[in-house]
Chain A
Amino acid sequence: MTLLELTEVGKNYGAVRALEGVSLAVEAGKISCVLGDNGAGKSTLIKIIAGLHQHDEGRYAIAGEEVRLGSPRQALDRGIATVYQDLAVVPLMPVWRNFFLGAELGRFRLDIPRMRAITREALARMGIELPDVDRAIGTLSGGQRQCVAIARAVHFGAKALILDEPTAALGVKQSGVVLKYVAAARDAGLGVVLITHNPHHAYLVGDHFTLLKRGRMAGSHPRSEISLEQLTTEMAGGSDLAELSHELGRTDPKERPPT
């Protein structure tokens, strides 16, 4: 089932052309990876999906219905949860307050014991054991914070989960942990958009790969049609890389002409 679909979407920031003609479909129970270098427009793409920005061109449809989202609230109400690269959580607030932020229990008065208990349970169900949900979420490591944010989206019944470079600032081990929870979210039936500039991370979990380059689509492949090597080469920019190696003037020693 197609949860959401972007068709030929474009976006300008004033004179900056951030996106042009980008298409993407998100299926339930599948992980769709978006790969690209810094400044390729990955964050812009998910901010459109999440309702933080609006697209200037093209079509954005959720469950087949064309939409123009005016705020993140509207995206959340349609079951789209986003974990941002830079603003996933409020660091000084306790874990349980962050977990329920914007979806608190109780219309006015909070049901605090239940909120604490549910936070603990929801994290445990994702395999995250946190003895103390009262600590400031900022005291958790980056990977741990991402995991809490993912557990949160799963708990609140999101249909689609958008993750902006969840592994960018993490070490190898922590990246593995986060990718495991991304897979757990997929197994729970969510459609996932995973943004990354690491083809190895993408290939570990992805079902579909979309490549962005300077705001345009540079490739779109189902997993069956591309190998990790091909993905890595495409990501590294194939011909660009050869050019770079020439500019740096360091050729393979075997090929170095005799002097």
Chain B
Amino acid sequence: MNTEVLAHERPLRRHHSRPELGALLAAVAVFAVFSVVAESFLRSASIGTVLYAASTIGIMAVPVALLMIGGEFDLSAGVAVTTAALTSSMVSYQLTAVTWVGSLVSLAVALGIGALNGWLLSRTGLPSFIVTLGTFLMLTGANLGVTKLVSGTVSTKSIADMQGFASCHWLFASQFTVGGLTLKATVWWWLGLVLLGSWILLRTRFGNWIFAVGGDAAAARAVGVPVARTKTCLYLGVGFCAWVLGQHLLYSFDTVQSGEGVGNELIYIVAAVIGGCLITGGYGSVVGSALGALIFGMTSKGIVYAQWNPDWFKFFLGAMLLLAALLNSWVKRRAERGPGR
């Protein structure tokens, strides 16, 4: 049998295996600009603040990016964070229990929301945009409604003097100083989740399935990949991270405002897209989502340090999103069309 050489080398492949390349360049550029125009930007206090802002987006951008690579959205991700914080606070307060009890109940609720989203998606066959828009609205209403019913106001009662608060605060809301740089607990959580998420995506069988169900669910199913189970696991991941961030909000501010979180789901999606995730699924990176969150943190705080008008922040973010989305879809078209066709 004679041998056929199938490949023509193209630079695209190198780009393809690095979806976060664009985000890396953008992050370096944003960093350089603010280092020059804002002298306080490079102080260790500012760096700590920027990283904190980035971490509160980045913790959620990890599972949202994985979900997007798996081909789905979660519009309920923002308010689910608030639901997790409210549940934890109200369960502990109403039962006068150790705060760990509230946190564990909250974990069950957050995972339950993820499971519900996944179940509805696989059962109804509706697009996740619609399914999670539904759960988004329901949670938004339930957050306000239940809180008013239980505490009589729109915010929860303080649980700062309750048993277990100190250890929960240490785990979710303390700060550590490393080499003169003070970092909030969320930064460590973020770092851990990025490493874990990236490892799962690139080095495990489940990660292979994530790429496959997002890239072509029918093809994945045909070779035996459990498509519905994979997507449900991704929604559980969103639930878990919403729980982590929700506990941070609760234990760092003692009380929770029940109307919070609306709109954040879009910021998580923006971070994932800037990080190289394709809106249609099958392509993207967890490290990229972290760079997206970092760009978000640097820009939102850097504009303040540079004493620019903060109104321009959203404008800048929108422009970044459009550029990133264009770049991603160009890469996809190149990859699908193939060489010389």
Cβ contact within 8 Å between A91 and B336: yes
Q: CB within 8 A of A108: which of B2, B3, B206, B215?
A: B206
Q: Is B195 an interface residue (CB 8 A)?
A: no
**A92-B282, A104-B208, A140-B6 known; A82-B222 Cβ under 8 A:** yes
Q: Which residues of B contact A108 (CB under 8 A)?
A: 204-206
In the bound complex, CA of A134 to CA of B204 (Å)? 16
Cβ contact within 8 Å between B4 and A89: no
**A108-B206, A110-B208, A139-B338 known; A93-B282 Cβ under 8 A:** yes
Q: Which residues of A contact B341 (CB under 8 A)?
A: 141
**A108-B205, A136-B13 known; A129-B4 Cβ under 8 A:** yes
Residue tally, chain A, CB below 8 Å to B: 47
Determine how close the nearest CB of chain A comes to the CB of B214; give it in whole angstroms: 9
Determine how close the nearest CB of chain B comes to the CB of A238; give it in whole angstroms: 36
Cβ contact within 8 Å between B216 and A90: yes
In the bound complex, CA of A73 to CA of B334 (Å)? 32
In the bound complex, CA of A129 to CA of B7 (Å)? 8
- A-B contacts counted at CB < 8 A amount to 129
Interface centre among A91, A97, A132, A147 (most CB of B within 10 A): A91
Cβ contact within 8 Å between B6 and A104: no
Q: Is A84 an interface residue (CB 8 A)?
A: yes
In the bound complex, CA of A226 to CA of B54 (Å)? 72
Interface set of A (CB-CB < 8 Å, partner B): 50, 52, 71-73, 76, 82, 84, 87-94, 97, 100-104, 106-110, 112, 124, 127-132, 134-136, 138-141, 144, 147, 177, 180, 184
**4 A-B pairs with the lowest CB-CB distances in the bound complex, closest first:** A102-B223, A90-B215, A102-B224, A87-B219
Give 14 A-B pairs besides A92-B215, A147-B4 with Cβ atoms closer than 8 angstroms. A71-B224, A84-B219, A93-B208, A97-B211, A101-B208, A102-B220, A104-B208, A110-B205, A110-B207, A127-B2, A135-B13, A140-B7, A140-B338, A147-B6
